[in-house]
Each structure stands twice: as structure tokens, then as C-alpha cells.
Amino acid sequence: MFLLVGVALAVRFGHMALMADSPLFLSPTSDAFEHYDLARKLAAGDWLGRSVGPYFRPQLFAYFCGALYAVFGISFVLLHVVLGVIDSVAVLGWYALGRRCFPRPAATVGALAIALHWPFVYFAASGYMETFAMALMSVFLLMLAEHARRVCLRGRGGSPWIPLVAAGIVGGLCALTRPTTLICMPGIGIALAALHLGKERRPLAIARACLPTVVLALCMVVTMSPNAIRHAAMFGLWAPMGTASEMGIHMGNNFDGWGWEVSSPGLEFEVYQKLPLIEGGAEPTISGFRTFWRARNAERIGENPTGFIGGIALKVLQLLNAKEVHCTQDFLYAREKSVLLRLLPGLGLFAPFAIVGALAAAWLLSSRARWNTWGANRAQRWSILLLLLWVVPYLAGVAVYLAISRHRLPMIPCALLLGGWAAWMLWRAFHSPRVDIWPWLAALVAGLALSRLPVLPLQYLDRHERWWTQVNLGSALQSLNRPAEAVVELEKSVEVMPDKLEGWRQLARALGSSGRPADAARAQKELLVRVRTQYPEYYMVEAAVLEQLARYQIEASDPAGAVLSARKIVAMVPDATAGRLLLAFFLRADGKEGEAREEFARVLELDPGNATAQAALAKEASP
């Protein structure tokens, strides 16, 4: 058993050694940076996150990182080491869960698959929260299985309430890390009630059987309540998890062409976030934005319910497809740098066995006689049912949200345990004359075909991942104060996908940090061309790009160009004081004092108390 932990530690730290010189190992990017940045603020003493405002998503992982940094100092590499240890020790939890469901050989094969699964090895060295979340989930499911075992033993294995309460607390922590896990809770609650319901069907007996479900739910609610209380008390919001749910559902299910492929990361995502202001005239508040997204979701699903259901079915296939994991991370880059990742197995090897295991479990659960053939006791049957009630609803439910690699990870360890069981059953079938092997082989071939269906434009996904990786490399190198190297990587990003916006924006930033403002202005102009082409009606986005262009032009000693850019901003939003202030300062830099005074005066007409304009005119009037 402990050999499994040793294997997991060896491959994870071996991978970290191979990635040690990578900018992505040394500096966080994308979502990992969000957690890292909040953790630094928390560790600095802002434990309520007042400087952040309402949390876009639950931030338990950021609090974990903040506590770690407060004790040991801020270090992204330290986080990798801690997550590597957590992920390796979690293999024990998955093995223990497997033992409560399957025979020892099956549990060992499944746990070994988890220890060697290369996406898990990758995430342990990425700074993302997935490793932390899956460790919590292993404890949650293990406690549920232990509760079922003690109930079936009728108290001989200890009090069943202790693991149930522990499951409720850890389940709440799971929801505060990956909220999509709540999708599985109704089915698990019903199963717990059925576990405690005997042959008696009187109302009192049914109420007594529902008590464990109520206890589980209450423990989860109490655990999650601090986040809800924070949002309600500090910001007047009802947001028990975060403020991103409605927008995420829209991104995953609209019929307008928006999605993770075109709407993230960076500037594209910022454009998407501004849709309530740009298209809907929503109030510029979080409540207004959430109301907009709820209304838009109801409208889109009501207009095309069959398209909504068909989209979910397609995303389920995408989640099963082994290649789908290559879409939102820098997997290709990591596997090029780390020979271990190239050698370790992925879902492509285990997916067919996992599908066979899940189907076989459902088939065997339908008949006690079939289970008796395989030697499973009552506690194992209930534990396997809980495992299925985690995998199947999660697979379908997460498809309503976003069918991307990180969101499907919570079900993968359970799928690998089922795959280990399927491999053991096939081995037994080969060696048992009483079992017909051909249905099992047919199921394995069907699983292989299902896991390899070409349901995604794979060439585009590889290209998108290459682009994403180059942008992240550029971002990391800028954080490490290596702007010249960042320019090289970001130039590759705009070669890979020249129409994507974030590569151009990051390239302009890197050029500006490298002391090349004229080149930065040229890159910003390329960005401006693409914004006008792709989002011609979104003047707010164009204005923001023009503002940064004007700043680069000033740094490049081109005040006339800066004035021209600022005039375009004012033409788009003539009543916005920010644009007129920029124009006034740039006019002054271009030596046009008279026009600058007129713009400062216009600002004061729009906003009589504007301190910046008052100070600028007072400074000019002083001798």
C-alpha cells in the first residue's frame, strides 16, 4: 500500500525536476495566478479579502495557499512541493476507497493507475487547485464508503455517524473548491436514505432513514456558510459559492458562438464579461450582471431546448474523449519538456476499462445473484453505488457547465478505480470456464471506440493549446522580469493564431517593458485592427485598446499620435471624463496648451468636482 505512495512521489518529483527551469514552473499564470495573487494578499493580513471584493469563484484553495505562505513565506515552488506530497498521499485515500468497493487486486490496479496518470502528475506541478480538490474528494468518498460499511455491519465496525459527519464537513470543503461537485449530492443523499431504509415503509421509518441525509446536508451547509456570510455581510450579495455560475452556464450553452475556444483567456474573456454592459444595458453591479446572465440563459434555453440537450450530449462525449484533455492547459509543452509525462499512461489507455467498469457495475447492481457470482458483499455494493452516483451525475452535470479538462478531473480517479475493477474482472473471466468472455471483450471494444470518437476539431485544439502555452510563457517571463525572452515567446503566439487578441496585447506589454515603446505601439495597432474587425460594435473594448495605444505613443515620443488616439476615444464616448482628461494631458504634451485648457474646462463642465482637472488648471495658472 505504501509502495503506491512511493511510486506517486517518485513520478511527481521526477517530473518537477524536469520542469524546474521552466518559466511556467517558476511563475503562476492564468487561473493559477488568480489563486496565487489572492493568497499573497491574504498572507499579508487581508484575511477577509476586502481589497478583492466578492469572490468570482470559491477561494478555499487560495486560503490554503495564503496560510502556507503566511507560515513559510511566499514561494510558488514551495506550493508545487506541497501539492506533490498531497497528491501522492491522496493515492492512499483512493486505494482505501477502492478496497471498500472491490477486491484487493482491483483496488491496487486502480490506485496504481491514479498514481501514474500523467494529467494528475502534471497538475501537481502546475499551481492549479485540482490536486487539492481531488485530495478532498478522496476523503469525502472514503468517509461515505466507511459509513456504508459500518451501517451494513450494524455497528460492529464502530459508530457510523463519525464518518458521516466527517463526510459532511469535507463535502462542504469540496464545494468551496470545485462547486460542480454539488451536482452529485442529491443522488448521494437519496442513496443514503435508501441504505438506512429497511423493509418497513411507515412514515416514521422513512423519516428516520432520511436523517443521515439531513445530517450530511447540514454539515455541508455549516462548512460552506462562512463564504455566504462574507458575501452577504460585506457586499449585500446572496452568493454562497461565488459570482461566476450564471456566466459559466451561458458560456457553456449559448448559441451565439461564445465559448472557451473563443472567449478566453485574457482580453477575449474581458470582452465576454462586459457583455451585460455592452449588449444588455445591465446595471454596472455584480447583481445586475448576474440578473443579465440568468435572463440570457432562460431566453437561450427556452428558444432552443433541443439544442441545449443536444449540446450537453455532445459535451458528455467530449468529456469521455481521450483527446479532449488537450485543450486548455500547456500539456503539449509539458510533455515535450518532461520525458516522464510522455512515458506515463493517460486516459486513452484507461478510458475503455473505466467505461466497461461503470457499465458492469450498473448491470451487476441490478441483481443480487449477479453480485453473489462475483463475491461482493452488501457493504461493497453500497460503496460501488455511491461511486457510480459520483461519476455519472458529475459527468452529465459538468457538461451543463464547461466541458474542459480541469472540470472533468473530479470524476477521473473514480473512473480509474472502476477501470481497475474492469481489468480484474476480465482477468478473472479469462481464467474462469464458467464466465463467457466475449461480452466483456465486446464491451471493452465499445469502450475503446467511445473514448476515441472524433467529437472535437483536434487540429484546432492543438493549435489553440500551442497559442495558449506561448501566451502563458510570455506572461510568466514578464513576471520573472525577463521581458526580452517574453517578446520571443509572444511573437510565436501571434504566429500560431494571429487573430487571437490576448497574444497581441501581451506582446505589446512585453515590448513596452523591454524599452521598445515604438514596437509596442505597432503591436497595439495590430490588436486594434483585430478588435475593430471582431467586435465592431463594442466601443468600450476599442476605447480601452486606444487608451493603451496612446500611452505607448507618448513613451515613443509621438505625442501627435497619442492625441489622435485620444480624440478617437472622445469621439466614441464624448461624455466620459476619463477620455477627455487623457486627451487634455496628451495635448499639453504635444505643446497645444490652448486646446488642453479647453478639454480640462470641458471635464469640469461634466464633473465640476473633478480634482485632476482642477489641479491641472490651477498649476497652469500659478506663476
Angle between helical axes of 559-572 and 539-555 (0-180°, round to 10): 160
Q: Are residues 39 and 85 in the same domain?
A: yes
How many domains, in total, are found in the chain?
3
CA–CA distance, 623 with 620 (Å, rounded to integer): 8
- Separation CA 507–CA 511 (nearest Å): 6
pLDDT of res. 93: 95
pTM above 0.85, yes or no: yes
62: in domain = yes
**How many other C-beta atoms are found inside a 10 Å radius of the C-beta of residue 398?**
26
| Domain boundary, last residue among 506, 531, 557 | 557
pLDDT confidence of 57, banded at 50, 70, 90?
confident
Residue 166 in contact with residue 212, Cβ under 8 Å?
no
- Please say whether the beta carbons of 414 and 394 come within 8 A: no
Q: What is the pLDDT of residue 495?
A: 94
The DSSP line for 240-272 is: SS-S-HHHHHHHHH-SSS-SHHHH-STHHHHHH
User: Contact, 275 vs 250, CB < 8 A?
Assistant: no
Q: With respect to residue 472, please indicate whether it lies within any of the assigned structural domains.
A: no
In a domain, 574, yes or no: yes
Q: Give the C-alpha separation, 545 to 621, whole Å.
A: 33
Is 432 in the same domain as 517?
A: no
3-state secondary structure of 359: helix
Judge contact between 245 and 54, C-beta under 8 A: no
Q: Domain boundary at 435, 451, 467, which?
A: 451
* Beta carbons of 330 and 468 less than 8 angstroms apart: yes
Q: Residue 317: inside a domain, yes or no?
A: no
Which region among 287-296, 312-321, 461-470, 593-602 has the lowest average model confidence (pLDDT)?
Answer: 312-321
pLDDT tens-digit map of 195-244: 888 766 777 888 888 999 999 999 999 999 998 899 888 888 888 887 77
CB 56 within 8 A of CB 243: yes
Q: Indicate whether 343 and 380 sit together in one domain.
A: yes
Alpha-carbon distance of 82 to 73, in angstroms, equals: 13
Q: Which residue has the higher pLDDT, 140 or 352?
A: 140
pLDDT at 511: 95
Query: Domain of 597: which CATH number?
Result: 1.25.40.10
- Domain match, 529 and 401 both: no
Calculate the dihedral angle through the C-alpha atoms of 61, 67, 70, 73, rounding to the nearest 10 degrees. -50
- Mean pLDDT in residue range 135-158: 90
**In the structure, what pLDDT confidence band is assigned to residue 324 with cuts at 50, 70 and 90?**
very low
> Are residues 193 and 53 located together in one domain of the fold?
yes
Write down the pLDDT at residue 175.
Answer: 92
Percentage of the chain lying above the pLDDT 90 cut: 40
Residue 302, Cβ density class (10 Å: 0-12 exposed, 13-18 middle, ≥19 buried): exposed
DSSP 59: -
Q: Which of 83-92, 123-132, 322-331, 577-586 has the lowest mean pLDDT?
A: 322-331
Pair (336, 432) in one structural domain: yes
616 has pLDDT over 60: yes
* Rounded CA separation 138/125 (Å): 19
Domain final residue, candidates 557, 591, 607: 557
Query: For residue range 344-391, what is the model confidence (pLDDT) as tens digits?
Result: 887 766 777 787 788 778 877 777 666 666 666 888 888 999 999 998
Q: Same structural domain for residues 180 and 194?
A: yes
**236-255 pLDDT, tens per residue?**
888 888 777 777 777 776 65
Rg (alpha carbons) of the chain, rounded to whole number = 28
Residues spanned by the domain of 487: 479-557
- Tell me, yes or no, whether 249 lies in a domain: no
pLDDT at 544 over 60: yes
Q: What is the DSSP letter of 55?
A: -
339 and 438 fall within a common domain: yes
Answer yes or no: is 392 within a domain.
yes
Nearest one of 35, 28, 33 to 49, comparing CA atoms: 35
Amino acid at 591: G
Any domain includes 463: no
Residues 532 and 565 in one domain: no
Q: Are 330 and 469 in contact (CB under 8 A)?
A: yes
Measured CA to CA in angstroms, residue 367 lies from 112, 380, 419, 441 at distances of 30, 14, 21, 21
Judge contact between 379 and 156, C-beta under 8 A.
Answer: no
- State whether 203 and 60 are in the same domain: yes
> Do 29 and 75 belong together in one domain?
yes
Q: Annotate 60-91 with DSSP letters as a single string.
A: HHHHHHHHHHHHH---HHHHHHHHHHHHHHHH
Alpha helices in 321-453, H assignment, sequence order = 331-337, 339-343, 347-365, 368-374, 378-401, 405-408, 412-430, 438-451
C-alpha cell at 369: 445473484
What 3-state DSSP class applies to 201? coil
Residue 146 is assigned to a structural domain of this protein? yes
The number of C-alpha atoms within 13 Å of 283 and in the hemisphere containing its C-beta is 6
Same domain, 421 and 486: no
How many Å apart are CA 247 and CA 253, to the nearest integer? Answer: 10
Amino acid letter, 419: G
In angstroms, rounded to a whole number, what is the distance separating the alpha carbons of residues 553 and 557? 6
**Cα separation, 564 vs 595, whole angstroms:** 13
